[in-house]
A and B are shown apart, each in its own frame.
Chain A
Amino acid sequence: MPPDAPALRVDQVSVRFGGVAALSRVSLAAGAGAVTGLIGPNGAGKTTLFNVISGLQRPDEGTVELAGRDITRQGPHRRARLGLARTFQRLELFGTLSATDNIRVALDSFGRSTERSAVALLERVGVAREANAPVSTLPTGSARLVELARSLSINPQVLLLDEPCSGLDERETAALGELLGSLAAEGRSVVLVEHDTELVLRICSVVHVLDFGEIIASGTPDEIRANEAVQEAYLGRRQAGGGA
């Protein structure tokens, strides 16, 4: 593994659904120990990109590298074993199992499952009191946090989070922001897709902006704030011009 390789690198990835290009030659990198933001309007291709990175969608072209290792042809479970975890925009929980068992299924695959270690992870994300309820009965916000705890249970080096704040109130969102910061401080690479642009620009060190399947801007939060193309994509040309 090259010593200077980023934790995650996506290179020239394209995905087409029939005649529609969902992603066109998308390239980005996410470093270890940082939160990287990925924003863009609805339908920009953010979730498709996450599907490509996690192995649920095969790209038509391009490569995905994890710590310098090409994983483009690996199945999703192998990528997870290499240290890549994710959450889903549309919750993907083991709905009939309790929150604890959701975590234990993931811990089992690494051979270190105990009730206590599962509850510890739930505590870390702040939903330990829901440990024994079937997760399909939990409110969306809590369920998202259980999903986050489950993704942490495989001790990931790269963590893809798809709109983790939807369903959370203001206080919970702030707490999640802090948690993501502490995860990055542990040396993990966190990639965050989120509609709460305020949060993204506050906690991310680098932000990439997707629009119609293409990266239209990459940079620090300040650079992104000042970028005209981004304002256009989000607000429309006239408003962007008028509002600037």
Chain B
Amino acid sequence: MSVFLSFTVLGIVTGAIYAISATGLVVTYTTTGVFNFAHGAVGMIAAFSYWQLWQAWHWPFALALAFVVLIEAPLLAVAVEFGLMRRLHGASVERSLMVTLGLLVILLGTATIFWSSPEVIRSVPAYFTSADGSVGSVRLFGNNGVTIEYQQLMIVVVAAVVAVGLGGFFRKFRLGVALRAVVDDPELVAMSGARPFRISQMGWALGFIMAALAGVLLAPLVGQTGLTADQLTLLALNGFAAAVVGRLRNLPMTFVGALVLGLVTQYCVGYLPGHINGGLASVLTSVVPVVFLFVVLVVIPAARLAPAGRLASRLAPKVVSRRQSIAGAVLVIVVGSLVAGVAGATALATVSQGLALGIVGLSLVLLVGYAGQVSLCQLTFMGIGAFTMGKVSGGDSWWGVILAVVLSGAVGAVVALPALRLRGLYLALATFAFGEVAYSAFFDNSSVISDGESINVGRVRLPFMHAVTDRAELIEVVVAVALCALLVGFVRRSSFGRRLVAMSDSPAAFATVGLSAARTKMAVFSLSAGMAGLGGVLYAGQQGGIGANDVQFIGSLTLLLFVAIWGIRTITGAVLGGLTAAALPVLQTHLPASLADVTGLAAGVGIVLLGRSPDGILGMGWLVDRIRLPLGDQPSDFTLVKDVVRAT
């Protein structure tokens, strides 16, 4: 009984933290129309600042708390609204999603600059600790009962106050009504005499305050191991599932969702046998929130999911002629061979890896650029390809490559299956959840790949050649990139390519002209995942293997952002995106240690600077006019793009 009670109490406390985090997400979404992927990262920055002020600089506890929650968080919100979000009004769902993802990696990068040195353990003491170091608590239900710490009680009380307070705020006060109106039509609000951007700033500030509150309440619970940026951010991401239970709009349902999630998580900790499979319980526990998210997304009827933003009109991805495609592919092979002939060891490895990632980038062009289906788990497909390759016949056989492509393609179709009716933000969340589950339950599971180790993958042994040297390997990758680029160009020219763009433009019209969105979605998901799998084979072959670190969410995210920065609807953009993602970590090694996460920062800052330009750098008219890029697929008429954007 006491065990059950203990885990129930812990579940309610965990749920309360999820609730505060999730209500913040819901508040931002309902008041600004933007789903803030960086919500967890805001909580993380708040937790670190709180530690900095209170523990490192010895500010009084209450002052540190008040400063972080009531001054720092709203100021950061105002800066984010002014600098990033204001320009996004009317932009596509994909665009605003990318910008908040960019903000997420910027905040993570910032945290690593200030709070990553391993010699300091950043732990925050428990609230209500007495002078002798014991944590204040109360015992309920006698000897067989349960001990509840005061800080746990405080978290639950704060969550309840937040829920009731916000609910009342939105119902009763005019500001609540105005906030909702701003989402629908800021121009109309402005015409009625209000200031829409000031109101929208309030929405962001409220959301950030909630995120900061969740962050500072969570900080002491992390324990003596100290705060780490990734862990804090991901903990807060768990709030996503609860927010989706509330369909991003309903605060009471969000609260209920958070409590259920907290309880389920803690009962898993308490009752799953810990010894099975060398820690199945811990694996399951870590995936409960994302599995929960995935299930909720699939189960909630589509009609009840709030429309997640609107799609702005734009030009279709340009069709590359057959001649241009072939010329581009030949050029890539010639340049690649030249590089293979002259480059040193580091450059050879970097270019090989970059081009392998370029193939994964090309898979994103099909899926995101053409079909408008955002995937946040592309490196998972890459990892499945590499893993399959490694497990087949010594890891270097040509039929291993085929099996890798087929298997990752099949997994792509399986992911698409439950997500068939999801679009935009919800699809992005579902792919995020899938990637996290695959990471925790498979790649990071020590019974699949031993801790810190990797699965050996060899260089592909083709019937007529075997890439033993780095130079031969690069040529192999170059040829693969050229072939994949030709395939993507062919798809865009084909009726299937037209169909992908049409499905992205209007799913309703797509169905009413006799086309099955389900079949098309599955086809593009599996084609894209298969291509990512091939990228994985080559990537892993270059570095000798594949491990958990290669397939993390943040990696998928960074690659997606780099491809989007260059131009996610262009073949050239995909290849340049892959090369950038491989080159920056190499550059990192030549930079001072304080610039800890140049790759992430570059991805975040880049996407944020590009704002709403749908075609990235390659879509910028002034650049295209001056530099002819090799694959010939950059949009040629930028003025038309601008006209379309202005017209919407």
Contacts and interface: CB of A to CB of B under 8 A. Distances in A.
A97 B515 contact: no
A105 B505 CA distance: 12
B315 A134 contact: yes
A76 B512 contact: yes
Given A80-B513, A88-B508, A88-B509, A94 B644 contact: no
Most chain A CB within a 10 A radius of its CB, from B314, B504, B508, B644: B508
A113 interface: yes
Interface string A90-125: 001111111001101110111001000000000000
Interface residues of B, number: 27
B304 to A, nearest CB: 11
Most chain B CB within a 10 A radius of its CB, from A76, A86, A147: A76
Ranked 10 nearest A-B pairs via Cβ: A80-B514, A136-B313, A76-B511, A106-B513, A96-B316, A92-B509, A94-B505, A108-B495, A94-B502, A105-B502
A107 B278 CA distance: 56
A153 interface: yes
7 contacts: A77-B513, A77-B515, A80-B515, A86-B512, A92-B509, A97-B501, A105-B498
A136 B512 CA distance: 19
For the side of the interface on A, what is the size category? 35 or more
A85 interface: yes
A151 B510 CA distance: 11
A96 B315 contact: yes
A108 B498 contact: yes
A132 to B, nearest CB: 12
A94 B502 CA distance: 5
B469 interface: no
A214 B495 CA distance: 43
A76 B643 CA distance: 34
Instruction: Describe B's contact surface by its main secondary structure.
Output: helix
Contact of A80 (B501, B502, B512): B512
Most chain B CB within a 10 A radius of its CB, from A54, A94, A97: A94
A57 to B, nearest CB: 9
B367 to A, nearest CB: 17
A94 B501 contact: yes
B499 interface: yes
A96 B647 CA distance: 13
Contact of B499 (A85, A108, A137): A108
A77 B511 contact: yes
Interface string B633-645: 0000000100110
B134 interface: no
B506 A93 contact: yes
A193 B133 CA distance: 76
A69 interface: no
Contacts of B514: 77, 80-81, 106, 109-110, 154
Nearest to A75: B511
